[in-house]
């Protein structure tokens, strides 16, 4: 058991060490600043402990006025100097702590954004992220963590100073004080062990509580909440949390207050003990009266520092534990950016899937089975199939979000993994089925951070059939989308948002165009517009079009029909309809209503 706990301690310490190293990298000025601040705070109490004793000795003894004035001057000057520098350093430190926390969040955000994509769709990884971040937030690690570490440093200095002070006067006393502190530490550890258990009990509820609480304020589901009277259900769940938490905390505080009370008594015992020692010393004439006060102040400071140190050490342990979860998450590999090949000169794109097999991580069955397919430069391929047949998986592989398990994907004869990351994504314009529109201006939704070219923007919006609408908005392309941050934001309909998404990929103007259900929310005219502009839009580009609306298959050069991870049919619309297979059946299901 002890072996395990030593190992645990070691892991915790190593996690904290890594955290410190990370902090140094993210915010290099922070650690020196924290050190200076800790030292100032650590020495701050000493003038108040020592100088009054000297004053008293002087008063009881020779009583020289100039000495007395000098002592008082020192005491006041010391307080002011420490207070003044301390306040400046503390302010800087606080800002620096905030900056560190912000940069840390950015650091984690960037890690997530750089992580291997296949990890993102792994439910286990999602869970790991949630747990790691939840604990970071619950324990305020980002703001409290560095402060805890600095606090321990500060307390160690103070405690050492005070110990030295007392030891100069009486070493026996210091042994007694240490002993009592040990007793207190033991008590404290016991409370913490119980508390740990309580926190574990509450963790499950906490997660659910946070979810339900967010539900009350996440107004994306506001309509459903109202129409389906969900408020009672959600509030009932929240109340369930409250009563569970109440029960658990009640028990926890009960244990805690007994122990804390006992601990407080021990601290008083330390003070009185010091007092008794001092009385004894003065009584025997071994101690001056001024030393008496130094003794007592030092002893009080000792027990206060020792107690605080204990709490901080337990916090540190908690920090270590929480950080381990986080560090495990951080260790997840980032995307493999090994490819070096440039794609600068590529204008035409020919794609080949060569015997591609693929299954999602942690699954048994293959999502793609032996898929071989060639899409020639400038060709338009349509992909059809039932829900879950592997169409979107096909796209994800092409986008290099996943790697094939067997087989390879070639672009102009080169394995796509050989290209440099940014270069490769430059080649693709992809409209995903679950495209995202951001609460930013239309302009930013098209060009993001790159400079917005007016003409190109207007052209793309026009091709997507949304230019008129955009021009009718008061701020044109500068209008923010959604109203959640701006009263003047535009609340566009689902179809209009989809057109913005189409405009975005046209704006990118890459040689390979992938459209996954681009017309799902479009009205018949807009759908027709899209179809009729399709030729112009895809001019000279290799295009892949996925749709459940099979009408779109008619103007593509070829159709690949997926079923259960395989390409079961391939050919032109006419060929496939004649063949009377799956495609013909699906076509018939839809076309019958229009005849």
Partner 1 sequence: MKREEGLLQNHFYVWQCVWRYNRVIVPLILANTLVTAAAPFTGILLPRQILDELLTARRPGRLVLLLISFFLLSALFSYLTQELKGIFMAQPVRVTAPCMNSMYRKCMEISFQCTEDPDFLNHVQTAQKGGGRDNFGGISGILHKWFEAPGAVIALCGYLALIANLNRAVLIILMCSMGISYALSLAQKRYEHNKREELAGWERRSDYLYGIMYDFSYGKEIRLCGLTDWLGGQFMLYRDKIRGTKKSIKNFELFRVWVELLLSLIREGIVYGYLVFMVAKKDMTIADFTMYAAVIAGFKGAFERTAGHLADLYGLSMQISDYRTFMSRPDEMTQEREPQPIPPAPYEFEFRNVSWRYPGSDRYVFKDLNLTIPGGERLALTGRNGAGKSTFIKLLLRLYDVTEGEILCNGINIKKFDRRAYYDLFSAVFQEVIPLGFSVADNVGVCDEGRIDRERVDLCIRRAGLADKVRALRYGADTCVLKNMDDEGVEFSGGEKQKLMIARALYKNGAVMITDEPTAALDPLAEQEIYEHFDRLTQGKTAVYVSHRLASTRFCDAIAVFEDGRIVEYGSHEELMGRAGKYARMFQVQAKYYGQEEGGR
Residue numbers 445-484 binding partner 1 by CB under 8 A: 448-449, 469, 483-484
595: CB partners within 8 A, 6+ apart: none
| Run of H or E residues at 549 | none
Please give the residues from 412 up to 431 whose contact with partner 1 meets the rule CB under 8 A: 422, 425, 428, 430
Q: How far is the CB of 354 from partner 1 (least distance, A)?
A: 23
Q: How far is the CB of 530 from partner 1 (least distance, A)?
A: 11
Q: Is 508 in the site for partner 1 (CB under 8 A)?
A: yes
Q: Is 337 in the site for partner 1 (CB under 8 A)?
A: no
Q: How far is the CB of 341 from partner 1 (least distance, A)?
A: 18
Instruction: Sheet with 542-546: list strands edge to edge.
Output: 428-431, 512-516, 542-546, 380-385, 558-563, 566-571
Residue placing its CB nearer to partner 1 in the complex, 96 or 324: 96
Q: Is 171 in the site for partner 1 (CB under 8 A)?
A: no
Identify the residue among 528, 533, 564, 570 touching partner 1 (CB under 8 A). Answer: 528
479: CB partners within 8 A, 6+ apart: 441, 442, 470, 473, 488, 489, 490
Per CB under 8 A, the segment of 175-183, 357-365, 403-411, 485-493 that binds partner 1 is 485-493
Residue placing its CB nearer to partner 1 in the complex, 13 or 265: 265
Q: Is 172 in the site for partner 1 (CB under 8 A)?
A: no
Q: How far is the CB of 8 from partner 1 (least distance, A)?
A: 24
**β strands within 50-152, DSSP E:** none
Residue placing its CB nearer to partner 1 in the complex, 14 or 208: 208
Per CB under 8 A, the segment of 7-15, 160-168, 250-258, 363-371 that binds partner 1 is 250-258
Residue placing its CB nearer to partner 1 in the complex, 103 or 359: 103
Per CB under 8 A, the segment of 27-35, 150-158, 308-316, 381-389 that binds partner 1 is 381-389
- Say how many residues make up the chain: 595
Q: Are 223 and 241 spatial neighbours (Cβ–Cβ below 8 Å)?
A: no
CA distances from 105 to 53, 141, 481 (A): 49, 11, 26
The count of C-alpha atoms lying within 13 angstroms of the C-alpha of 83, restricted to the half-sphere facing its C-beta, is: 8
CA distances from 405 to 148, 359, 372 (A): 47, 7, 14
Q: Are 252 and 195 spatial neighbours (Cβ–Cβ below 8 Å)?
A: yes
Q: How far is the CB of 566 from partner 1 (least distance, A)?
A: 16
Identify the residue among 165, 296, 310, 349 touching partner 1 (CB under 8 A). Answer: 296
Handedness of CA 570, 573, 577, 583 (dihedral sign): positive
Please give the residues from 531 up to 560 whose contact with partner 1 meets the rule CB under 8 A: 531, 548, 550-552, 554-555
Q: Report d(CA 193, CA 196) in Å as an integer.
A: 5
218: CB partners within 8 A, 6+ apart: none
Please give the residues from 26 up to 85 whose contact with partner 1 meets the rule CB under 8 A: 48, 52, 55-56, 59-60, 63, 65, 68-69, 72, 75-76, 79-80, 83-84
Identify the residue among 385, 404, 457, 511 touching partner 1 (CB under 8 A). Answer: 385
Identify the residue among 9, 228, 348, 535 touching partner 1 (CB under 8 A). Answer: 228
Q: How far is the CB of 1 from partner 1 (least distance, A)?
A: 28
Per CB under 8 A, the segment of 7-15, 17-25, 261-269, 344-352 that binds partner 1 is 261-269
Residue placing its CB nearer to partner 1 in the complex, 316 or 428: 428
Burial 112-129 (b: 16+ CB within 10 A, else e): eeebbeebeebeebeebb
Q: Please measure the distance between the N-terminal and C-terminal CA atoms of the chain and give it in whole angstroms.
A: 78
Q: Report d(CA 148, CA 151) in Å as an integer.
A: 5
Please give the residues from 174 up to 203 whose contact with partner 1 meets the rule CB under 8 A: none
Please give the residues from 555 up to 584 whose contact with partner 1 meets the rule CB under 8 A: 555, 573-575, 577-578
Per CB under 8 A, the segment of 178-186, 204-212, 361-369, 537-545 that binds partner 1 is 204-212
Identify the residue among 194, 271, 311, 412 touching partner 1 (CB under 8 A). Answer: 271
> Residue 34's closest CA among 153, 144, 143, 141?
153
Q: How far is the CB of 385 from partner 1 (least distance, A)?
A: 7
Per CB under 8 A, the segment of 1-9, 282-290, 304-312, 364-372 that binds partner 1 is 282-290
**β strands within 260-394, DSSP E:** 351-358, 368-375, 380-385
- The token pair at 444 is 């930013």
> Residue 296's closest CA among 76, 49, 55, 56?
49
Residue 231's CB is within 10 A of a number of other CB atoms, namely: 12
Q: Is 509 in the site for partner 1 (CB under 8 A)?
A: no
The count of C-alpha atoms lying within 13 angstroms of the C-alpha of 235, restricted to the half-sphere facing its C-beta, is: 5
Q: How far is the CB of 24 from partner 1 (least distance, A)?
A: 19
CA angle 361/367/372 to nearest 5° reads: 120
Q: Report d(CA 410, CA 230) in Å as an integer.
A: 51
Q: Pattern of binders to partner 1 over 93-132, x per CB under 8 A?
A: -xx--xx--xx-xx-xxx-xxx--x--xx-x--xx-xx--
Q: Report d(CA 485, CA 440) in Å as an integer.
A: 9
Per CB under 8 A, the segment of 18-26, 256-264, 348-356, 361-369 that binds partner 1 is 256-264
Residue placing its CB nearer to partner 1 in the complex, 14 or 198: 198
Residue placing its CB nearer to partner 1 in the complex, 1 or 123: 123
361: CB partners within 8 A, 6+ apart: 118, 122
Identify the residue among 276, 328, 348, 374 touching partner 1 (CB under 8 A). Answer: 276
């Amino acid at each position: 058991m002890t072996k395990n706990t030593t190992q645990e301690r070691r892991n915790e310490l190593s996690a904290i060490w890594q955290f410190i190293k990370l902090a140094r990298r993210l915010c290099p000025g922070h650690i020196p600043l924290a050190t200076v601040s800790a030292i100032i705070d650590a020495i701050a109490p000493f003038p108040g402990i020592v100088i009054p004793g000297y004053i008293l000795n002087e008063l009881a003894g020779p009583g020289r006025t100039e000495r007395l004035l000098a002592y008082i001057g020192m005491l006041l000057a010391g307080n002011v100097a420490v207070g003044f520098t301390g306040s400046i350093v503390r302010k800087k430190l606080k800002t620096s702590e905030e900056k560190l926390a912000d940069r840390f969040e950015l650091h984690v955000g960037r890690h997530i954004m750089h992580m291997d994509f296949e990890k993102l769709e792994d439910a286990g990884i999602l869970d790991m992220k949630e747990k790691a971040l939840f604990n970071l937030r619950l324990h305020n690690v980002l703001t409290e963590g560095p402060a805890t570490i600095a606090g321990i440093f500060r307390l160690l200095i103070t405690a050492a100073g005070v110990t030295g002070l007392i030891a100069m006067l009486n070493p026996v006393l210091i042994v007694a004080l240490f002993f009592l502190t040990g007793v207190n530490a033991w008590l404290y550890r016991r409370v913490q062990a119980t508390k740990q258990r309580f926190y574990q009990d509450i963790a499950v509820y906490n997660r659910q509580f946070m979810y339900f609480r967010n539900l009350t304020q996440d107004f994306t589901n506001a309509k459903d909440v109202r129409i389906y009277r969900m408020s009672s259900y959600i509030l009932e769940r929240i109340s369930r949390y409250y009563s569970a938490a109440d029960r658990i905390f009640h028990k926890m505080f009960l244990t805690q207050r007994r122990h804390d009370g006992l601990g407080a008594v021990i601290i008083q015992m330390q003070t009185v003990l010091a007092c008794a020692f001092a009385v004894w010393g003065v009584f025997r004439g071994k101690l001056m009266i001024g030393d008496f006060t130094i003794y007592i102040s030092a002893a009080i400071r000792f027990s206060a520092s020792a107690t605080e140190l204990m709490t901080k050490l337990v916090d540190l342990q908690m920090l270590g534990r929480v950080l381990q979860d986080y560090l495990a998450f951080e260790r997840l590999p980032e995307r493999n950016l090994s490819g070096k090949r440039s794609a600068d000169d590529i204008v035409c794109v020919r794609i080949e899937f060569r015997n591609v097999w693929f299954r999602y991580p942690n699954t048994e069955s293959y999502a793609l089975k032996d898929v071989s397919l060639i899409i020639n430069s400038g060709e338009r391929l349509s992909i059809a199939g039932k829900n879950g047949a592997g169409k979107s998986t096909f796209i994800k592989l092409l986008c290099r979000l996943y790697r094939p398990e067997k087989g390879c994907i070639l672009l102009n004869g080169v394995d796509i993994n050989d290209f440099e990351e940014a270069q490769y994504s430059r080649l693709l314009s992809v409209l995903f089925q679950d495209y995202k529109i951001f609460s930013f201006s239309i302009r930013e939704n098209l060009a993001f951070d790159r400079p917005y070219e007016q003409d190109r923007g207007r052209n793309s919006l026009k091709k997507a059939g949304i230019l008129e609408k955009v021009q009718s908005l008061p701020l044109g392309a500068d209008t923010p989308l959604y109203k959640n941050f701006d009263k003047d934001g535009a609340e566009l309909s689902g179809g209009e948002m989809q057109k913005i998404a189409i405009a975005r990929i046209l704006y990118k103007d890459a040689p390979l165009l992938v459209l996954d259900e681009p017309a799902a929310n479009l009205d018949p005219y807009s759908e027709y517009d899209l179809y009729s502009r399709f030729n112009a839009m895809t001019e000279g580009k290799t295009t892949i079009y996925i749709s459940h609306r099979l009408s779109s298959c008619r103007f593509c050069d070829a159709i690949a029909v997926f079923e259960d991870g395989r390409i079961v049919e391939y050919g032109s619309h006419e060929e496939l309809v004649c063949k009377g297979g799956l495609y013909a059946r699906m076509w018939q299901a839809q076309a019958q209503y229009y005849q």
